[in-house]
Amino acid sequence: ADGSELEGATIQIIDGKGRIENEWVSGDEAKEIQGLKTGEEYTLRVTVAPEGYTIPSDTAFTIDEKGEVTSSGTVNEDGTMLVELEKTEVSVAVVDIADGSELEGATVQILDSNGKVVDEWVSGVEAYDFEGLKTGKEYTLRVTVAPAGYKIPSDTTFAIDEAGKVTSTGTVEDGVILVELEKTKGSVVVVDAANEKELEG
């Protein structure tokens, strides 16, 4: 998003035969690799992403006899290959379970596995986006206040895998977690006060 250097990513350079030529953990400066063969295609692979980031797709690259790098990824002006990582993202929409229309006015929380509130917001007419959650960890979605005329639903849990895919005990549509609310219901019966038999009319 902003081009800042990220620490804590484990990166591999793999040759055409699948052998790991080099492996390191990213720091706050570019890593310089020497001794790679010219004309051979290598793969640049992230095996571990820093917390709150997804693992990107592999990129392929070659080095020509002049030392210039050609890559399927991004190479900046000075020939440095960039391994670009995206923050994890989750989208949450509060909807009416009957017709799927988005509901305003629900207070929703994301809680971590220790029950600590990571984020809280009031639903609007569009899905709410949150970035930077850890991959492989289970989170809970909880509604603490429902819009007028709706019931508070049961909690649902969700997790984000290293590729950024969201799975949930609730409903997920097009990558958006749906918090489905039901309208409140009540029944009225007219009865005889003496014997509690139902009365018509």
- Strand residue runs (E) in 52-111: 59-63, 69-71, 74-75, 81-82, 89-96, 107-111
Q: Report DSSP state, residue 169.
A: S
> Do 148 and 105 form a contact (C-beta atoms < 8 A)?
yes
What's the sign of the alpha-carbon dihedral 34, 38, 43, 44? positive
Per-residue pLDDT of the chain (201 residues; tens, 9 = 90+): 888 899 999 999 999 999 999 999 999 899 999 889 999 999 999 999 999 999 999 999 999 998 889 999 999 888 899 999 999 999 999 999 999 999 999 999 999 999 999 999 999 999 999 999 999 999 999 999 999 999 999 999 999 999 899 999 999 999 899 999 999 988 899 999 999 999 998
Ramachandran sector of residue 16 (left: φ over 0; alpha: ψ -120 to 50; beta: rest): alpha
Q: Which residues is 182 bridged to in the sheet?
A: none
Q: What gap in Å lies between CA 119 and CA 116, rounded to an integer?
A: 9
Q: Report DSSP state, residue 148.
A: T
